[in-house]
């Protein structure tokens, strides 16, 4: 928090021992008058948000990188199956 406060960055603090993401998103949406929140993340936070039922859309961007054997799998921490629906975009990509 010192880092954020020193730089006068705005932040939201929720939960006592760990982040309460649902409450944080609610506060972000109210404070900024928005209905959509974009989270650009890796597998850890992504899995937490998926498991909490806080994701209603996923956009995957692939880049040509070799991460090696110690890299985390994208959906390693997802606890249950989640049904997805593919949406075709106007330019033909999915």
Please report, for the chain, the start and end positions of each structural domain, with discontinuous segments joined by +. Answer: 2-37, 38-94
* This prediction's pTM: 0.67
How far are the Cα atoms of 12, 39, 54, 68, 72 from residue 5, in angstroms, in the given order? 12, 22, 28, 37, 32
Residue 8: per-residue pLDDT: 95
pLDDT tens readout for residues 32-82 = 999 999 998 888 899 999 999 999 988 877 777 777 788 777 788 888 988
Q: HEC states along 32-92?
A: HCCCCCCCCCCHHHHHHHHHCCCCCCCCCCCCCCCCCCCCCCCCCCCCCCCCCCCCCCCCC
20 pLDDT above the threshold of 90: yes
84 pLDDT above the threshold of 90: no
Residue 94: per-residue pLDDT: 60
């Amino acid at each position: 928090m010192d880092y954020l406060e020193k730089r006068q960055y705005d932040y939201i603090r929720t939960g006592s021992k760990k982040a309460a993401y649902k409450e944080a998103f609610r506060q972000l949406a109210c404070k900024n008058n928005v209905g959509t929140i974009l989270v650009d993340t890796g597998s850890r936070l992504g899995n937490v948000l998926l498991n909490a039922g806080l994701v209603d859309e996923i956009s995957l961007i692939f880049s040509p990188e070799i991460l090696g054997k110690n890299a985390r799998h994208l959906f390693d921490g997802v606890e249950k199956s989640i049904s997805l629906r593919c949406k075709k975009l106007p330019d033909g990509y999915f």
